[in-house]
Amino acid sequence: MYLNNNSANCTWRSLARNKLLNFAYQFGLERAGRFIFKNYLTVLNYHRIDDPNRHGFDSFKPNVSARREDFAQQMDYLMRWFKVVSIQEIVRWLDGKSILPSHAALITFDDGYADNFLNAYPILKERNLPAVVFLTSGHIQNDAPFYWDLVAYCFYHTPQDTIIFPDGHQEHWNNKTEKDRVSSNLIEKLKILPDDEKTAWIARLPELLNVSIQKGYFKSLMMNWDQIREMNKNGIDFGGHTINHPILTRVSLRRAEDEIAGSRTRIEDELGKPILGFAYPNGGKADFNQEIEHLTANSGYRVAFTLLNGPTSFGEAMQNPYAIRRVFISHKHTLAQFSFLVNGFNRYRPS
């Protein structure tokens, strides 16, 4: 899941809203209701920490959560107004062995991109902040790209100006803006295809767009196990995010079980310690259900995370630790917008 480009259009309404947010942030109004939400767990969801507008960036831009300098500011904001906890502290609290502090916050990352190690980890280490990275284990130290990164790469490098979509209709572009729109539309269309059909179509995309890909190119996009082990020795935990990142409600229960359990097994084998948490791919309402939650629990995970708007009350988390909400962060969010996203009222914002 990521911020839809359409939601960031510079209309007069969005400009007015941003001015109001900036004013409220300047005077601390974003902390209104802080007392009401003191017994809530605020879980932040990041994917990549990079500059999507830097020269040569040719993977999926909407998956960038923050530039390095913005991420540092966000961490400083969290340290000032929240108590950042680890996933172990949450599990100990669920087990009745400790108390979760008021205004508890957990920092999470999905997928396992290399920039988590290169750009986020030094900032977290400098501030002694815990975090958890949910790994798509089949993509770690592997040259197989996520389909959204492959689409973005092919569109960035293609000499062509047309493509035929999986449903047979053709789209055309005349400039970069139009090409980005077509690329985003294709990714959305691919997301709803059955997983096997999507995989087969994606395999043909480089040929369709007349793009060659250097061997090993996508391997460097992800962390390797040595980097993961270094982070793990220095306060960063890891969790499961499946093996291949299918949307779990769109594959068979047997396949879902293999993806959920297999991810945990591989990470435990590499790190030599129990893995406690899991994050559902895509994480929306349609992307997990009670059957998937039960598979996650039966696979040995103690807690699991969605991408429904956060935060989650302590009572809800205790009642069902397999559907904890998270706050999705995009590089398009200013610090003022970030401050409102981590406000408890964000939970009632339309998705």
Same domain, 40 and 151: no
**Which pLDDT belongs to residue 196?**
87
Tell me, yes or no, whether 288 lies in a domain.
yes
Nearest 5°: phi and psi at 327?
Answer: -100, 115
Write out the residue range of the structural domain in which residue 187 sits: 147-208
Residue 146 has pLDDT above 90, yes or no: yes
Same domain, 317 and 273: yes
Tell me, yes or no, whether 43 lies in a domain.
yes
Same domain, 151 and 253: no
The pLDDT tens digits of the residues spanning 96-126 come to: 999 999 999 999 999 999 999 999 999 999 9
Tell me, yes or no, whether 215 lies in a domain.
no
Rg (CA), the chain: 20
Assigned token pair, 336: 């003022």
Mean pLDDT of 117-141: 98
Identify which of 82, 100, 104 has the alpha carbon closest to the alpha carbon of residue 91.
100
The CATH number given to whatever domain includes residue 284 is 3.20.20.370
Same domain, 253 and 330: yes
Mean pLDDT of 61-75: 97
Q: Which residues pair with 222 in a beta bridge?
A: 113
Q: Which of 167, 183, 208 is the last residue of a domain?
A: 208
Whole-number mean pLDDT of the chain? 92
Alpha-helical (H) ranges within the chain are: 12-26, 68-81, 87-94, 114-115, 121-127, 147-157, 176-191, 195-208, 225-233, 253-271, 290-298, 314-319, 335-341
Same domain, 117 and 181: no
Same domain, 132 and 153: no
Tell me, yes or no, whether 213 lies in a domain.
no
Same domain, 48 and 171: no
Residue type (1 letter), 267: I
Mean pLDDT of 167-185: 94
Residue 9 has pLDDT above 60, yes or no: no
Residue type (1 letter), 270: E
Greater confidence, 199 or 290? 290
Same domain, 251 and 107: yes
Q: Kindly report the number of other CB atoms within 10 A of residue 275's CB atom.
A: 25
**Which pLDDT belongs to residue 274?**
97
Same domain, 228 and 328: yes
Same domain, 195 and 270: no
314 and 39 in contact (C-beta within 8 Å)? Answer: yes
Same domain, 69 and 161: no
Residue 52 has pLDDT above 70, yes or no: yes
| Rounded CA separation 123/49 (Å) | 11
Tell me, yes or no, whether 214 lies in a domain.
no
Q: At 152, is the pLDDT very low, low, confident or very high (cuts 50, 70, 90)?
A: very high
Provide the whole-model pTM: 0.92
Q: At 5, is the pLDDT very low, low, confident or very high (cuts 50, 70, 90)?
A: very low
Tell me, yes or no, whether 9 lies in a domain.
no
181 and 175 in contact (C-beta within 8 Å)? Answer: no
How many domains would you assign to the chain? Answer: 2
Residue 11 has pLDDT above 70, yes or no: no
Same domain, 104 and 233: yes
Tell me, yes or no, whether 272 lies in a domain.
yes
